[in-house]
Structure 1
Amino acid sequence: MPQAPAAHTRETATMAVPASRPLTVLIGTDTYPPDVNGAACFTTRLAHGLGDRGTRVHVLCQSDSGPPVVREQNGVTVHRLRSVPSLAHQSLRLAVPLGGRGHLDRLLARVRPDVIHIQNHFIVGRLLLAAARRHGVPVVATNHFMPENLFNHLRVPDPLRLGVGSYAWRDLFRVLGQVQHVTTPTRIAARLLVDGGFTRPVEALSCGIDLGRFQPVGAPEDRSRVRARFGLPDRPSTLFVGRLDEEKRIEDLVRALADITVPDCQLLLVGVGARRQRLTRLAEECGVDERVHFLGFVSDEELPLVYHAADVFAIAGTAELQSIATLEAMASGLPVVAADAMALPHLVTTGGNGYLYAPGDHVELAKYLSELLGSPALAAAMGAKSRQAATRHDHQASLDRFEEIYRTVADREGPAPA
Structure 2
Amino acid sequence: MHTVTSHPDSAPIRILIGCDTFAPDVNGAARFAERLAAGLVRRGHEVHVAAPSKKHRLGGAFLETIEGEQMTVYRLPSWRWYPHDWLRFVLPWRARHYARKVLDQVRPDVIHIQSHIVIGRALAHEGAKRGIRVVATNHVMPENVFDFTLLPERAKRLFVRWGWRDADRVLRRAAAITTPTRRAADFLERNTYRRGVLPVSCGLRASDYTAVVGPREQHKLVFVGRVTLEKEIDVIIRALLRLDPALNASFTIVGDGDQRKNLEKLVAELGLTDRVHFTGRVSDEALRGYLTDASVFVIASIAELQSIATMEAMASGLPIVAADAMALPHLVQHGENGYLFQPGNDRELAEAVTHVLTAQPEEYERMQHASLEAVQSHDIDRTLDTFESLYRGTPVA
Q: TM-score, normalised by structure 2?
A: 0.92
Where does residue 344 of structure 1 map in the other structure?
328
For the residues of structure 2 that align with 1:244 and 1:155, how far apart are their CA atoms?
Answer: 18
Greater length-normalized contact order (CA 8 Å, ≥ 6 residues apart): 1
* 2:213–2:368 Cα contact (<8 Å) kept: no
- The more displaced of 16-25 and 240-249 is 16-25
1:302 equivalenced with 2:292 (yes/no): no
Residue of structure 1 in register with 2:299 after alignment: 315
Residues 365-384 of structure 1: matches in 2 within 5 Å? 365-375=349-359, 377=361, 378-384=363-369
Q: How does 1:19-418 map to 2 (within 5 A)?
A: 19-66=9-56, 67-72=58-63, 73=65, 74-97=69-92, 99-217=94-212, 235-261=218-244, 262-375=246-359, 377=361, 378-408=363-393
- CA–CA distance in 2 between the matches of 1:57 and 1:323? 25
Residue 274 of structure 2 aligns to a residue in which SS?
A: helix
Conserved 8 A contact 1:33-1:40 = yes
Q: Which runs of 5+ in 1 are unaligned?
A: 1-14, 224-233, 411-418
**Cα deviation code 1:279-304 (max 9, x no counterpart):** 11111121111100001101124332
* One-letter code aligned to 1:150: V
Cα distance change, pair 139–16 in 1 and its aligned pair in 2 (3 A): closer
Q: Is the 8 A contact 2:178 2:197 kept in 1?
A: yes
Q: 1:333 is aligned with what amino acid?
A: G
Q: For each residue in 1:242-288, what CA deviation from the matched residue of structure 2 results, as whole angstroms up to 9, or x when unmatched?
A: 01110100000110111112432100101110111111111112111
Query: Structure 2: how far apart are the matches of 1:404 and 1:93?
Result: 32
Distance 1:93 1:197 in 2: 26
Corresponding letter in the other structure for 2:237: V
Which amino acid is 1:64 matched to? K
Measured after TM superposition, the shift of residue 376 of structure 1 is: 6.2
Q: Deviations over 1:107-137 (max 9, x none)?
A: 3233221100000111111221122023221
Distance across 2 between alignment mates of 1:138 and 1:307: 39
Residue 64 of structure 1 and its aligned partner are, at CA, apart by 1.8
Q: Which sits farther off after the overlay, 243-252 or 379-388?
A: 379-388
Describe the shift of the 1:194–1:24 C-alpha distance in structure 2 as closer, same or farther (beyond 3 A): same
Tell me how far 1:159 sits from its aligned partner.
Answer: 3.0
How far apart, in 1, do the equivalents of 2:391 and 2:21 lie?
A: 22
**Cα drift, residue 52 of structure 1:** 0.9
SS of equivalent residue, structure 2 residue 54? coil
Is the CA contact (8 Å cut-off) linking 1:81 and 1:96 kept in structure 2? no
State whether residues 177 and 200 of structure 1, in contact with CA within 8 Å, keep that contact through their aligned partners in structure 2.
no
Taking only the aligned residue pairs, the percentage that are identical comes to: 44
- Report the CA distance between 1:65 and its aligned residue: 3.1
- The CA distance in 2 between the partners of 1:199 and 1:276, in whole Å, is 37
Structure 1 residues 171 and 103: CA distance shift in structure 2, 3 A: closer
Distance 1:25 1:246 in 2: 34
For residues 384-410 of structure 1, give each alpha carbon's deviation from its aligned partner in whole angstroms, at most 9, with x where no partner exists: 101100001111101000001101179
Structure 2 unmatched ranges of 5 or more = none
TM-superposed deviation, 1:144: 0.7
- Distance verdict in 2 for CA 1:403–1:270, change over 3 Å: same
Paired residues in the alignment total: 384
Match of 1:328, as an amino acid? Answer: E
Where 2:208 maps in the other structure, the secondary structure is: coil
CA distance in 1: counterparts of 2:304 and 2:96, whole angstroms? 33
Cα distance per residue 1:314-360 (max 9 Å; x no partner): 00011111111001111111000000111111111111000000111
Alpha-carbon separation, structure 2, partners of 1:103 and 1:162: 31
Query: 2:379 corresponds to which letter in structure 1?
Result: D
Aligned-partner residue type, residue 124 of structure 1: I
Scaled by the length of structure 1, the TM-score of the pair is: 0.87
SS in 2 for 1:403: helix
User: Closer, same or farther in 2 for the Cα pair 1:386/1:156, shift >3 Å?
Assistant: farther
Q: Name the SS of the counterpart of 1:319 in structure 2.
A: coil
Give the letter aligned to residue 289 of structure 1.
Answer: T
SS in 2 for 1:75: strand
Is contact 2:22-2:30 (8 Å) kept?
Answer: yes
